[in-house]
């Protein structure tokens, strides 16, 4: 491992310390370790000759690198390079204000079906960590569960849009979410240069849960959805220890109760509970739509609970958007500072939401 000058290294006690001088890249005692490029000599000169290249690589620069390139074309105010620079500058106040802040991200929907979007998401999360944020990922995986149930010849049943979870289905849910999907997301983030840890809500009682109330039937009675739970308590201490060590938690939404029972938890609901318990700076839900739309199909950039109630009464907010908005409001009531619903189909929508003035979806307020 090449050691960078002390001013460029982040400390475990203050993950953002090194970032105040440069992009945070860990030395041998820091939370982030970047692999040396294969094929490079073990001793390639003093540390000053190495520069960080995000994400997860080091590149050797020539001592006279500034004199060894061809003259660049003249830059105008409207050139592409100038526009890129403006975008970087636009991000500066957000980078400064988010130092050490927790951001809980629910990863799901179409983005989980695209290799390109999955890798892009992993890079986005890694960049947030390297810039001093404390990202926490909670993921879904409905399509993966359906595929595995089909392979095992286990039938799927839905009650008012919710998957009925019997013991056999729950076993598959755990296997897919906490196994293949969670570990794959963690591995992608680690490959991108982060240090991610795949967890189940059952690990160290990370998410304590109880039976969730089912949807109402036509006669107003509660419908049975099986082993579907709702969070009661979140192990904040575990997540804090991981964040202080420079790790990125990747949580599968499966909880447990005090009697040892397991519960299948909706990923949006789990993310909201984690955000509220941590007092997160932001909760961001990645979805398959732009955000909340008005009657003309235009994106609503900001919405509060009064406007949400109005749109619901008018029938403008329906289906899966209703529980997502409820999750955002629940997180805000529990102590999360801000919540957003964004389009996960847009590449790097997470960065656009955090680092641009306009954002990339709908911000929900109380």
pLDDT per residue as tens digits for the range 208-243: 999 999 888 888 889 999 999 999 999 999 999 999
What's the CA gap between 33 and 25, in Å, rounded? 7
**Alpha carbons 189 and 112: distance in angstroms, whole number:** 14
pLDDT of 283-294, one tens digit each?
Answer: 999 999 999 998
Beta bridge partners of 103: 135, 282
Residue 89, token pair as written in the block? 């500058």
Are 340 and 364 in contact by the 8 Å Cβ rule? The answer is yes
CATH 3.40.1160.10 intervals, the chain: 88-365
Please give the CATH architecture assigned to the domain spanning 88-365. 3-Layer(aba) Sandwich (3.40)
How far is the CA of 338 from the CAs of 3, 278, 284, 323, 359, in angstroms? 38, 13, 9, 17, 13
Residue 2 in this model has a pLDDT that exceeds 80: no
- pLDDT tens digit sequence for 68-119: 444 444 555 567 888 888 888 999 999 999 999 999 999 998 888 899 999 9
Torsional sign, CA 184, 189, 194, 199: negative
Q: How much is the pLDDT for 56?
A: 43
Q: pLDDT tens across 123-154, in order?
A: 999 999 999 999 999 999 988 998 999 999 99
- Asked if residue 343 has pLDDT above 80, the reply is yes
Q: Could you give the CA distance from residue 204 to residue 207 in angstroms, rounded to a whole number? A: 8
Which tokens is 58 given?
């080091």
Asked if residue 150 has a cis previous peptide bond (ω within 30° of 0), the answer is no
Question: Three-state DSSP class for 50?
Answer: strand
Report the C-alpha gap between 110 and 126 in whole angstroms. Answer: 20
């Amino acid at each position: 491992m090449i050691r960078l000058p002390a001013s460029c290294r982040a400390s475990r006690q203050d993950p953002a310390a090194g970032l105040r001088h440069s992009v945070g890249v860990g030395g041998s005692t820091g939370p982030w370790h970047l692999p040396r490029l294969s094929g490079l000599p073990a001793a390639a000169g003093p540390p000053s000759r190495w520069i960080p290249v995000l994400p997860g690589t080091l590149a050797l620069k020539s001592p006279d690198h500034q004199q060894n390139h061809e003259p660049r074309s003249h830059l105008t105010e409207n050139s592409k390079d100038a526009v890129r620079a403006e975008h970087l500058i636009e991000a500066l106040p957000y980078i400064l204000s988010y130092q050490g802040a927790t951001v809980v991200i629910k990863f799901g929907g179409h983005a989980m079906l695209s290799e390109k979007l999955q890798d892009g998401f992993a890079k986005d999360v890694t960049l947030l960590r390297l810039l001093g944020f404390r990202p926490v990922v909670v993921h879904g995986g409905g399509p993966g569960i359906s595929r595995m149930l089909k392979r095992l010849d286990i039938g799927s049943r839905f009650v008012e849009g919710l998957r009925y979870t019997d013991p056999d289905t729950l076993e598959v849910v755990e296997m897919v979410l906490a196994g293949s999907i969670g570990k794959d997301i963690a591995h992608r983030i680690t490959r991108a240069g982060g240090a991610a840890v795949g967890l189940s809500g059952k690990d160290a009682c990370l998410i304590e849960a109880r039976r969730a109330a089912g949807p109402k039937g036509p006669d107003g009675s509660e419908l049975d959805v099986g082993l579907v739970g709702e969070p009661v308590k979140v192990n904040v201490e575990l997540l804090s220890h991981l964040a202080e060590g420079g790790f990125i938690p990747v949580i599968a939404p499966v909880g447990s109760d005090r009697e040892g029972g397991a519960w299948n938890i909706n990923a949006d609901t789990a993310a909201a509970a984690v955000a509220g318990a941590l007092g997160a700076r932001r909760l961001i839900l990645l979805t398959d739509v732009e955000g909340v739309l008005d009657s003309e199909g235009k994106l609503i950039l900001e919405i509060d609970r009064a406007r949400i109630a109005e749109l619901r009464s008018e029938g403008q907010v329906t289906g899966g958007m209703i529980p997502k908005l409820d999750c955002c409001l629940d997180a805000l009531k529990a102590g999360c500072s801000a919540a957003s619903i964004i389009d996960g189909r847009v590449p790097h929508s997470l960065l656009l939401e955090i680092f641009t003035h306009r954002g990339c979806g709908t911000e929900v307020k109380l």
